[in-house]
Amino acid sequence: MGLRSNLEITTDPRRRLLGLLPSLFTLLNMMSGFLSVLMAITERPQFAAVLIGISVVLDITDGAVARLVRSVTPFGLQFDSLADLVSFGVAPAILAFTVLSGTDLSVAPLGLLASFLWLACAAIRLARFNVTIDPTADKRFFNGLPSPGAAGVLIASVFAFPAPETDSQRFIAVLIVAIPALLMISSIRYRSFRSLISPKSRRPYGLIVFTAALAVGFVLDPAITGCVVAYSYLAIPVLLPARLAIPTG
């Protein structure tokens, strides 16, 4: 009975309706990822990146809604991972391929390898997460870069940098794809972004200042601000692992 969803063990129509809310947000997450693929293959990379960004917001929201309505279920966890594979695996991989290859078929193999590396690492990352869920684990930390965080690097890069045209630019673009992909399957500890922005933070004033600075940055220069946030989230645990070695209360 413990594995049955809340929808199956309640006869209250209102409760059943509330129980559907998290899955609705998950479905919207998947739809946004699917639309991103369509934008990427029609050579509209910035629209594709925006849609992946919307998926990131929806991914954060569905978990919060599930906890709010007390509808955290095994089905919800699996459905969320499948949606994440579309939005943070397939969609970024297609976006990376179209940006790297463009209309130049001579570099298509390079784009193919880099984009498939992303997809493979995202799938491994999500599968590993699903089979190692530990109810007693510290929910503030992940092993490996979370797939939405990796997608954030790609989103920020699409807006901050022009499409690669020279060999050196393509090499840098491949690194921008390959490094987050490999970090997804690493054992490096990353702080959950949800815990960083939680109102229950031990440093609420710091959170307020950070949020205000972030808002100002996005107003003044959204592309650079997005890069600073995304690349900092990626790099700090790699460069300063000791800061995450011992979780603090």
Q: Encode the chain in three state secondary structure.
A: CCCCCCCCCCCCHHHHHHHHHHHHHHHHHHHHHHHHHHHHHCCCHHHHHHHHHHHHHHHHHHHHHHHHCCCCCHHHHHHHHHHHHHHHHHHHHHHHHHHHHCCCHHHHHHHHHHHHHHHHHHHHHHHHHHHCCCCCCCCCEEECCCHHHHHHHHHHHHHHCCCCCCHHHHHHHHHHHHHHHHHHCCCCEEECHHHHCCCCCCCHHHHHHHHHHHHHHHHHCHHHHHHHHHHHHHHHHHHCCHHHHCCCC
- Looking at per-residue pLDDT, the higher value among 243 and 96 belongs to 96
Residue 136's pLDDT band, with cuts at 50, 70 and 90, is: low
- Identify which of 182, 112, 95 has the alpha carbon closest to the alpha carbon of residue 147: 182
CATH, domain 13-245, list 1.20.120, 1.20.58, 1.25.40, 3.10.450? 1.20.120
Query: What is the tens place of the pLDDT at every residue in 107-131?
Result: 678 889 999 999 999 999 999 988 8
Q: Give the separation between CA 237 and CA 179, rounded to whole angstroms.
A: 14
- Looking at per-residue pLDDT, the higher value among 73 and 179 belongs to 179
Query: What is the tens place of the pLDDT at every residue in 35-50?
Result: 999 999 998 999 999 9
Q: State if pTM tops 0.85.
A: no
